[in-house]
C-alpha cells in the first residue's frame, strides 16, 4: 500500500500506485519564440537550457530573447491589435473559451511538464495549477461581451499592447492570469515567462496557435531579466503587468516613471497566519502546513509567519512537528509527494542562506527526519521557533518551505505583530468566532485574507497587495480594469 497522508491541498485526489511518467509527454529539444502566430528562432541565435530541478537533467534549449526579438513581438502585437480590438466581443470570447477547453483537454500533459520544469508536486499541478489556469480563461471569456454590465454607464475600450512578465512559481497559472483578461478585453500581449520555467508557456503558445487565435494577439518571448527589461522599456507597449520580486518591481517602477505606461505589480509577501486559542486546532495545523509548504513555499502569499496565541502554543507546535514528520519530500511526479524540488540552485542557495541567518539570529530550528534525494535541489520543511520581530527571517521573504513562529497574548497584540512587516499581500485567521474574523480581517493591512482556510484561489476574487507587495489587482472584476480605458 502506498503511504496515504492527508495533506489536503485538494480532497478530490485519488491516490494511485505509479508515479506520473515523463513518457506521457513529448518535449521538443529546442523552442523558439512565439511571434505573430509562429515559432521563430531568436535573432542572435542564442539559446539557454531549462532543466528539471529534481534531477538536474536538461529538458530543452530555449530561445534567449534580445531587444530585436522583443521589438519584433511588439510590432506583431501592434499589428494584431488593429483587427483584434475591432473584433466583436462575442467572437473574441469564442477564442478564449476555446483556449480554456483545450487546456482542460491537455491538462495531464501540462501538469506533468509543469512539475518537471518547476519541481512542484504533480498533485498540485494536476489539481490546482492547470485547472485554475483553464478556469481563468473561462472566467474572462465570460466577461468579454458583458463589459457594459461590468461597468454600467461607462464606455469600456481596450488600451493596446500589454507587456507581461511572470515568475517561476506558478508558470502556466500566471500566464493565464495575465493573458486571459488582456485578450478578452481586446488587447494584444507580449508575455515573458521566467527563465527557469518557460515550458508550459510555450505549450500554451501551441494551444493558442491551434485554437486559431489571430496572429499577433499573443506573443511569447523567452529569456531572463534583460529580455524582461527590453519589454518594460519598449515604447510600443501601453501597459506592464509584472509578477515577481519586490526588488525587480521597484526597478520596473523607476523604468516607466515619466512614461504614460500603466502598470500593475504583484510583488513579494510575508503573510501572517494567526491561530487563536478558540480555533479548531487540527484544522489549523493543516492550514499552517498548507500555508507554508504548498509549492515548496514558493508562493508570494505563503503563510510564512505563524502567530499562535500563547495558551495553545505548546499544543499547536507539538502537533505541527508531528505532522511535519509525515510529509514526503521527493519526486515531483510521485502522487504521494507533499514537497517537491526547490525551483533552482539559486533559490536553494538563497533558502540555505536564510537558514544560516535564522540560526545565527538565535531562533531554534526544527526539521523533520525525512530523507531527501541526493541529486537535484531539495530543502526539508523547516520551523524556526522563538523568533523575534526584529529577526531577518521574520521580516524578509525567503520563498521556501521555512516558517517563522511567534506567539501573542491578546487579539490586539496579534494584529499589531502581524501588521509589523513591509509587505501586505495576504493573511490567515483561525478562530471559532465570526466576530473575531471580522475584527481581525478588517484590521490586517493585506490584500487577501483567508479565514479558517488558506491558499484558496478562484478567478472571481481579486488578488493583490498593499505596501511593498505591489499595486493593482488581478482576478475578478477588478482584474479587467487595468486592461480597459473607462470613459
Ligand atoms: P525571483 O527573484 O523570484 O526570480 P524576479 O523578480 O527576479 O523573481 O523574476 C520575475 C520575472 O521578472 C522573471 O520573468 C524575470 O526574468 C523577470 N525579470 C528579472 N529582472 C527583470 C528586469 N530588470 N526587468 C524586467 N523583468 C525582469
Residue 189 has pLDDT above 80, yes or no: yes
What separation in Å is there between the alpha carbon of 235 and the centre of ligand 1? Answer: 20
Q: Where in the chain is the domain with CATH 3.40.309.10?
A: 272-458
Q: Which of 228, 261, 301 to mutate to test the pocket of ligand 1 (most atoms within 8 A of CB)?
A: 228
Q: What is the chain's Cα-based Rg?
A: 22
Residue 33 host element (H or E): strand 33-35
What separation in Å is there between the alpha carbon of 249 and the centre of ligand 1? Answer: 8
Q: What's the half-sphere exposure (Cβ side, CA atoms, 13 Å) at 269?
A: 32
**Cα(58)–Cα(114) distance, integer angstroms:** 14
Choosing from 20, 114, 124, 266, which is the catalytic residue?
A: 266
Beta strand extents in 140-235 (DSSP E only): 156-158, 161-165, 188-192, 218-220
- What is the structure's pLDDT at 14? 41
**Cα(106)–Cα(130) distance, integer angstroms:** 9
Q: Which of 119, 167, 192 to mutate to test the pocket of ligand 1 (most atoms within 8 A of CB)?
A: 167
Does the C-beta of 251 come closer than 6 Å to ligand 1?
Answer: yes
Residue 8 has pLDDT above 80, yes or no: no
Q: Which residue has the cell 493596446?
A: 160
Active site residue 387: no
Kindly state the average pLDDT of the residues 165-179: 98
* pLDDT tens digits, 420-435: 999 999 999 999 999 9
Residue 6 has pLDDT above 80, yes or no: no
What separation in Å is there between the alpha carbon of 227 and the centre of ligand 1? Answer: 9
Residue 23 has pLDDT above 90, yes or no: no
Does the C-beta of 195 come closer than 6 Å to ligand 1?
Answer: yes
* pLDDT tens digits, 62-120: 999 999 999 999 999 999 999 999 999 999 999 999 999 999 999 999 999 999 999 99
Q: Residue 262: beta bridge partners? A: 239
Weakest-pLDDT range from 13-17, 367-371, 470-474: 13-17
Does the C-beta of 159 come closer than 6 Å to ligand 1?
Answer: no
Residue 310 host element (H or E): helix 310-325
Running DSSP on this structure, what letter comes out for residue 20? P
What separation in Å is there between the alpha carbon of 106 and the centre of ligand 1? Answer: 28
**Cα(473)–Cα(28) distance, integer angstroms:** 36
Helix (H/G/I), strand (E/B), else coil: 295: helix
**Cα(128)–Cα(401) distance, integer angstroms:** 19
**Cα(365)–Cα(254) distance, integer angstroms:** 38
Q: Where in the chain is the domain with CATH 3.40.605.10?
A: 20-267+469-486
**Cα(263)–Cα(244) distance, integer angstroms:** 13
**Cα(122)–Cα(113) distance, integer angstroms:** 9
Does the C-beta of 289 come closer than 6 Å to ligand 1?
Answer: no
Q: Which CATH architecture has domain 20-267+469-486?
A: 3-Layer(aba) Sandwich (3.40)
- What is the structure's pLDDT at 99? 98
pTM for this model (two decimals): 0.95
**Cα(79)–Cα(253) distance, integer angstroms:** 27
Mean pLDDT of the chain: 95
What separation in Å is there between the alpha carbon of 228 and the centre of ligand 1? Answer: 7
Alpha-carbon dihedral 475, 477, 479, 480, rounded to 10 degrees: 140
What CATH number was assigned to the domain covering residues 272-458? Answer: 3.40.309.10
Q: Whose CA is nearest to atom 26 of ligand 1?
A: 228
Active site residue 468: no
Does the C-beta of 65 come closer than 6 Å to ligand 1?
Answer: no
Please, which pLDDT band fits residue 2 given cuts at 50, 70 and 90?
Answer: very low
- What is the structure's pLDDT at 22? 73
Does the C-beta of 300 come closer than 6 Å to ligand 1?
Answer: no
Residue 63 host element (H or E): strand 58-63
* pLDDT tens digits, 256-283: 999 999 999 999 999 999 999 999 999 9
Amino acid at each position: 500500500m502506498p503511504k496515504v497522508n492527508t495533506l489536503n491541498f485538494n480532497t478530490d485526489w485519488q491516490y494511485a500506485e505509479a508515479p506520473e511518467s515523463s513518457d506521457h509527454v513529448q518535449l521538443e529539444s529546442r523552442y523558439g519564440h512565439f511571434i505573430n502566430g509562429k515559432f521563430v528562432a531568436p535573432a542572435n541565435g542564442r539559446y539557454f537550457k531549462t532543466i528539471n530541478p529534481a534531477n538536474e537533467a536538461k529538458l530543452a534549449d530555449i530561445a534567449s530573447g534580445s531587444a530585436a526579438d522583443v521589438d519584433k513581438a511588439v510590432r506583431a502585437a501592434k499589428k494584431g491589435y488593429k483587427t483584434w480590438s475591432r473584433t466583436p466581443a462575442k467572437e473574441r470570447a469564442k477564442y478564449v473559451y476555446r483556449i480554456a477547453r483545450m487546456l482542460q483537454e491537455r491538462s495531464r500533459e501540462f501538469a506533468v511538464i509543469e512539475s518537471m520544469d518547476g519541481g512542484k508536486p504533480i498533485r498540485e499541478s494536476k489539481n490546482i495549477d492547470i485547472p485554475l489556469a483553464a478556469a481563468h480563461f473561462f472566467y474572462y471569456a465570460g466577461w468579454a461581451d458583458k463589459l457594459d454590465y461590468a461597468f454600467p454607464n461607462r464606455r469600456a475600450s481596450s488600451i493596446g499592447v500589454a507587456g507581461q512578465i511572470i515568475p517561476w512559481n506558478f508558470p502556466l497559472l500566471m500566464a493565464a492570469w495575465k493573458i486571459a483578461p488582456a485578450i478578452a478585453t481586446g488587447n494584444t500581449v507580449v508575455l515573458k515567462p521566467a527563465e527557469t520555467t518557460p515550458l508550459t508557456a510555450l505549450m500554451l503558445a501551441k494551444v493558442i496557435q491551434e485554437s486559431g487565435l489571430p496572429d499577433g494577439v499573443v506573443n511569447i518571448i523567452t529569456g531572463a531579466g534583460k529580455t524582461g527589461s527590453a519589454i518594460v522599456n519598449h515604447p510600443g507597449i501601453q501597459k506592464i503587468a509584472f509578477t515577481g520580486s519586490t526588488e525587480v518591481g521597484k526597478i520596473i517602477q523607476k523604468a516607466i516613471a515619466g512614461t504614460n505606461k500603466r502598470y500593475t505589480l504583484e510583488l513579494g509577501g510575508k503573510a501572517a497566519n494567526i491561530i487563536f486559542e478558540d480555533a479548531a486546532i487540527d484544522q489549523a495545523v493543516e492550514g499552517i502546513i498548507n500555508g507554508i509548504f504548498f509549492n515548496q513555499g514558493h508562493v508570494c502569499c505563503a503563510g510564512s509567519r505563524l502567530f499562535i496565541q500563547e495558551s495553545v502554543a505548546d499544543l499547536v507546535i507539538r502537533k505541527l512537528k508531528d505532522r511535519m514528520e509525515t510529509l514526503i519530500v521527493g519526486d515531483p511526479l510521485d502522487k504521494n509527494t507533499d514537497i517537491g524540488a526547490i525551483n533552482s540552485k539559486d533559490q536553494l542557495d538563497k533558502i540555505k542562506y536564510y537558514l544560516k541567518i535564522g540560526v545565527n539570529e538565535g531562533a531554534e530550528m526544527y526539521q523533520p527526519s525525512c530523507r531527501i534525494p541526493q541529486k537535484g535541489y531539495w530543502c526539508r520543511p523547516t520551523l524556526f521557533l522563538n523568533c523575534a520581530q526584529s529577526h531577518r527571517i521574520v521580516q524578509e521573504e525567503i520563498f521556501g518551505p521555512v516558517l517563522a513562529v511567534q506567539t501573542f497574548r491578546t487579539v490586539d497584540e496579534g494584529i499589531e505583530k502581524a501588521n509589523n512587516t513591509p509587505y501586505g499581500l495576504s493573511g490567515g485567521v483561525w478562530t471559532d468566532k465570526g466576530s473575531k474574523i471580522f475584527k481581525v480581517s478588517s484590521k490586517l493591512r493585506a490584500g487577501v485574507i483567508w479565514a479558517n482556510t488558506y491558499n484558496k484561489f478562484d478567478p472571481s476574487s481579486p488578488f493583490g497587495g498593499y505596501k511593498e507587495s505591489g499595486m493593482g489587482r488581478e482576478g475578478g472584476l477588478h482584474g479587467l480594469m487595468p486592461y480597459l480605458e473607462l470613459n
